[in-house]
């Protein structure tokens, strides 16, 4: 069978994740590659790291689709003395095209937030917030109320392993039934979560001050906070992206193989000194 051209695959990806829905600061779409080159194998990953590019090369991939952009911020050199320069060189030398779907995949339906909502076991899912006609985040209900610890343990079973694990703010035995989710960094949506009436908020990269203020405003009640890690909450989307791309290209009379990265690109390697989860507020081993 005749392989797809990069132009055809990019057009399908653009239909799934329209570039105009990306945030104004974002840099999405085709990063490298010849639109006329044939594409036989697409490799999906969260981050376009050097290790991921090498993994894609070893797999025989012609196209690497990532969630995070390689060139989000401006660069003045792509010399191989820098990591970004080495990445660009590796892509070009190995004839691997690169495509990024970032904030446009966050707001897509199905997209990053839908994959996280599914991992949480939510039903009756809708947007958390709609801004300028674009739906951000998701909020839905569990099929039955769960204790907070039980809910997080269920979520943990569906997430890839990461060193940081899952951080939770809230009483372990509290009952929760309504859940809001935002994949990746989500403390900018804390007000929307409160307005949604969610019992718990699943996201990542919760900074100290916004998280502390949210818990203070809640006076110990809802919404409880679950920080499940940036990479882990977005990795879930890769399976959805693969399935949606294959669906979009089905029936075209061409062949396309796909695979998903097995590399953990979460940057942390080990954890030391985590406090016991017994609710203790004692400080030992130093002063804050």
Structural domains in the chain, sorted by start = 2-105+235-260 (3.40.1390.30), 107-228 (3.40.1390.30)
Please give the pLDDT value at position 26: 97
Rounded CA gap, 189 and 76, in Å? 34
Please tell me the predicted confidence (pLDDT) of residue 254.
75
pLDDT attached to residue 75: 87
Any bridge partners for residue 225, and if so which? 169, 201
pLDDT recorded at residue 275: 78
Q: Answer whether 55's CB lies under 8 Å from 262's CB.
A: yes
Please give the Cα distance from 159 to 162 (Å, whole number): 9
Note the pTM of the prediction, 2 decimals.
Answer: 0.94
DSSP alpha helix (H) spans, 127-236 = 148-158, 190-196, 208-218, 230-235
Half-sphere exposure of 121 (CA within 13 A, CB side): 16
**pLDDT score, position 184:** 97
What is the structure's pLDDT at 233?
98
In this structure, the strands spanning 38-39 and 41-45 are unpaired
**Cβ contact 94:57 at 8 Å:** yes
Give the model's pLDDT for residue 252.
75
What stretches in the chain show pLDDT beneath 50? none
- Reference 100, options 55, 75, 68, 74; nearest CA is 68
Give the pLDDT of residue 2.
82
> Strand 2-5's sheet: what is its strand order?
38-39, 2-5, 254-255
Q: How far apart are CA 209 and CA 212, in angstroms?
A: 5
3-state secondary structure of 281: coil
At residue 22, the pLDDT reads: 98
CA 13 from chain centre, in angstroms, equals: 17
């Amino acid at each position: 069978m005749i392989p797809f051209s990069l132009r055809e695959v990019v057009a399908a990806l653009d239909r799934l994740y329209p570039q105009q829905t990306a945030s104004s600061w974002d840099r999405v779409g085709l990063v490298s590659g010849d639109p006329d080159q044939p594409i036989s194998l697409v490799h999906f990953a969260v981050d376009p790291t050097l290790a991921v590019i090498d993994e894609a090369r070893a797999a025989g991939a012609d196209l690497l689709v990532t969630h995070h952009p390689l060139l989000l911020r401006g660069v003045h050199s792509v010399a191989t003395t820098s990591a970004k320069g080495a990445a660009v060189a590796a892509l070009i030398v190995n004839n691997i095209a690169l495509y990024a779907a970032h904030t446009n995949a966050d707001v897509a339906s199905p997209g990053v937030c839908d994959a996280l909502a599914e991992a949480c076991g939510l039903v009756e899912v809708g947007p958390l917030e709609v801004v300028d006609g674009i739906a951000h985040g998701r909020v839905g209900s569990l099929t039955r109320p769960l204790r907070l610890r039980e809910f997080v343990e269920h979520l943990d079973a569906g997430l890839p392993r990461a060193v940081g694990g899952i951080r939770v703010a809230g009483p372990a035995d509290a009952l929760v039934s309504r859940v809001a989710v935002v994949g990746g960094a989500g403390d900018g949506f804390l007000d929307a979560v409160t307005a949604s009436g969610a019992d718990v908020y699943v996201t990542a990269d919760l900074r100290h001050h916004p998280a502390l203020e949210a818990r203070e405003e809640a006076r110990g009640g809802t919404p409880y906070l679950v920080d499940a890690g940036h990479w882990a909450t977005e990795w879930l989307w890769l399976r959805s992206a693969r399935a949606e791309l294959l669906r979009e290209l089905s029936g075209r009379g061409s062949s396309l193989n796909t695979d998903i990265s097995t590399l953990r690109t979460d940057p942390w390697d080990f954890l030391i000194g985590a406090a016991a989860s017994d609710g203790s507020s004692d400080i030992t081993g130093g002063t804050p």
